[in-house]
Structure 1
């Protein structure tokens, strides 16, 4: 589908900052892009929860002139924003100032559960304090048993579940999501449940910095409620100029692992190129050690601690970035430090676990054991794989692999699981 010149322009400039509710307002061009991907002809009832500035609702009104539009937002000012954006006198629009995550929302706004044709949503980027009615929302949506902890239930998942409650069978849901639900290991069960219960039609990876104030990776996602099990998911990527990549179709088992285009495009390219059989990082290392000393405790610790700012820039194509001697501990100091910290040992490969540009941080421990902060991974490998693994992480392909495997809304981070699954 051709993209407007306005969308291309938007993707090369910043959006708007979030508000006190953690919302990053959607531009009209991105809103239209999502609405265009929802394959439905003449919906009768369209709902937007957490409507904010009303951009998604306005795009829906532009496309579906005869639909009844219902918007809900806890912010009383949202109604005025919507009034200014209505698509003309024919629009039938009802707005409610109410908590969109109220388990009794349908009763409060006069809609029966399971009656909405299309739901569109850009959830806020917050993790609300847990309430008992959140459990009912997740249970009704078939998602109550897929989380390892209720603390993993962010607003994105709760809004998704609330929309599923409102939708009718075969109703369409269009979402703008951060990459937690798309790529984080803790949401693997959620992705699996969604694909087993619903038809996940497509996921489009947007360029970073679409929303000013966050570097979060975001996605457009469309699914059909209870329209059959998802066997293949169509993934695409949007470039900074608004162009769309070719479609990658990913089977359910791999899509449950991750739903981001860049990850699967990289993995597929490695498999096609390979002159030798690629293996995963997890197969090549004996252990992945994560440090335990947080940044606020570094100054008070009795031994020097290797932290994010201690990685050095590469000195040449064949040069090895070595941890400075000043971090190396003697035998007695190491015995004392290991009581309260995790140590990296000679031969370990150090990688940044969190932070901007984490893919560029790499070092090799040579001179002696050293204490590492909780922002650092130490990969303990064998002589067989050490050089090959280090050279891979130093290469463009290795940096790209770490960059695409990392995720997060505020600070990007690389989990042990995602690191272990990188192939080289």
Structure 2
């Protein structure tokens, strides 16, 4: 992250939530003449930042403070809008809302970007606090979770950032890069108020630390999502020769049904409910995975079940909506209608497109499309919007 920030001789470098000191140590090594300020609420941090970190006392000031205090600048002796470089790896928690948070978001130009205040996690609040403290054209490098980068509910946040600041690059990091978690994370670098972002440079880091070739994404596409894997697949599908006309999943469907029976209610439901564990494993490129007969309902049983649940019908293609390996779960309804859980989508199409849809989702390209369209920090999920935009 430190190497990716283009700042030659910053005078003031800030890290909020400094933790064990990895970022601030790297920053001190690169910018040896800069004043370094770190802040963390943990009272044990000053001891950890002491010996062995190479932080010179005349260069480094540490404060034990709540990073999400609206009056933080006064408590650490900094004027808002004076920091040259800020680096940050925020905690991925959702603190209980308090009035300070609204003021922090407003001061960063992000008020009104959330449909619900409950969506404001520490990641977004740390981002906003850093923006308040940065000077115009100051650089911010931070680690972001999957939600802020890909989730639909943060689309207005991405729009505000793209229109108010220059987002220089977003690097998709490999899962497992941080010890103890498989969470999908990203490294982002932006220049505060340095102009509107017309194109965003996206890259992906492999497990060997190497970066992929960059792709540039226009603002409208970046507003939807900022992950390399998703946009790289879109770019590849546009270039790939194909005997079929390019079309989206939305164009191939007549309807999408999402189940309504939650997992806790499956055992007590009056009929068998097809759930995530009921998908068969792949057995070959040409084999068709079908829903077992035990889930099929008679006409009378189907009419009764339809009063309390959503049904998949013969010809529907079932996909998992949630789960770590959702791209591997696929089935065709053949024997009769069945009740599906709220973790499953039933895709309904005409005879003309059904086989093409099934074969696509069974293929490597289709599984990759589902995997890159899904998002989530730990348990991943696939939204209807992202499903619809997949290109066949």
**TM bucket normalised to smaller:** over 0.9
Confirm whether residue 242 of structure 1 aligns to residue 205 of structure 2.
no
- Note if contact 1:126-1:155 (Cα within 8 Å) is conserved in structure 2: yes
Residue in structure 2 matched with residue 129 of structure 1 by the alignment: 96
Confirm whether residue 358 of structure 1 aligns to residue 326 of structure 2.
yes
- Aligned pairs for 1:370-409 (under 5 A) are 370-409=338-377
- Note if contact 1:125-1:409 (Cα within 8 Å) is conserved in structure 2: no
Bigger drift between 314-323 and 62-71 goes to: 314-323
What TM-score comes out, normalization by structure 1 length?
0.90
Shift of 1:65: 0.5
Q: Distance in 2 between matches of 1:277 and 1:158?
A: 44
- Aligned pairs for 1:298-317 (under 5 A) are 298-317=266-285
For 2:162, what is the secondary structure of its paired residue?
helix
Confirm whether residue 77 of structure 1 aligns to residue 44 of structure 2.
yes
Shift of 1:43: 0.7
Q: Distance in 1 between matches of 2:309 and 2:127?
A: 40
For 1:83, what is the secondary structure of its paired residue?
coil
Residue in structure 2 matched with residue 195 of structure 1 by the alignment: 162
Shift of 1:340: 1.7
Unpaired stretches in structure 1, ≥5 consecutive residues:
1-33
What TM-score comes out, normalization by structure 2 length?
0.97
Q: Distance in 1 between matches of 2:284 and 2:276?
A: 21
Q: Distance in 1 between matches of 2:246 and 2:92?
A: 37
* CA displacement 1:135-186 (0-9 Å, x = unmatched): 1111111111111221221111111111101101000000111111111111
Residue in structure 2 matched with residue 422 of structure 1 by the alignment: 390
For 2:179, what is the secondary structure of its paired residue?
coil
Q: Distance in 2 between matches of 1:358 and 1:411?
A: 10
Segments of 4+ moved more than 6 angstroms: none
Shift of 1:291: 1.3
- Note if contact 1:287-1:381 (Cα within 8 Å) is conserved in structure 2: yes
Alignment match of 1:141 (pick from 93, 100, 108): 108
Residue in structure 2 matched with residue 41 of structure 1 by the alignment: 8
- Aligned pairs for 1:24-423 (under 5 A) are 34-89=1-56, 92-275=59-242, 276-423=244-391
- Note if contact 1:352-1:358 (Cα within 8 Å) is conserved in structure 2: yes
For 1:249, what is the secondary structure of its paired residue?
strand
Q: Distance in 2 between matches of 1:78 and 1:385?
A: 59
Unpaired stretches in structure 2, ≥5 consecutive residues:
none
For 1:35, what is the secondary structure of its paired residue?
coil
- Note if contact 1:67-1:91 (Cα within 8 Å) is conserved in structure 2: no
* CA displacement 1:375-404 (0-9 Å, x = unmatched): 111111121211101100000000001111
Q: Distance in 1 between matches of 2:241 and 2:345?
A: 27
Distance 1:85 1:295, change over 3 A: farther
- Note if contact 1:205-1:220 (Cα within 8 Å) is conserved in structure 2: yes
- Note if contact 2:324-2:378 (Cα within 8 Å) is conserved in structure 1: no
Number of positions where the alignment pairs a residue of Structure 1 with one of Structure 2: 391
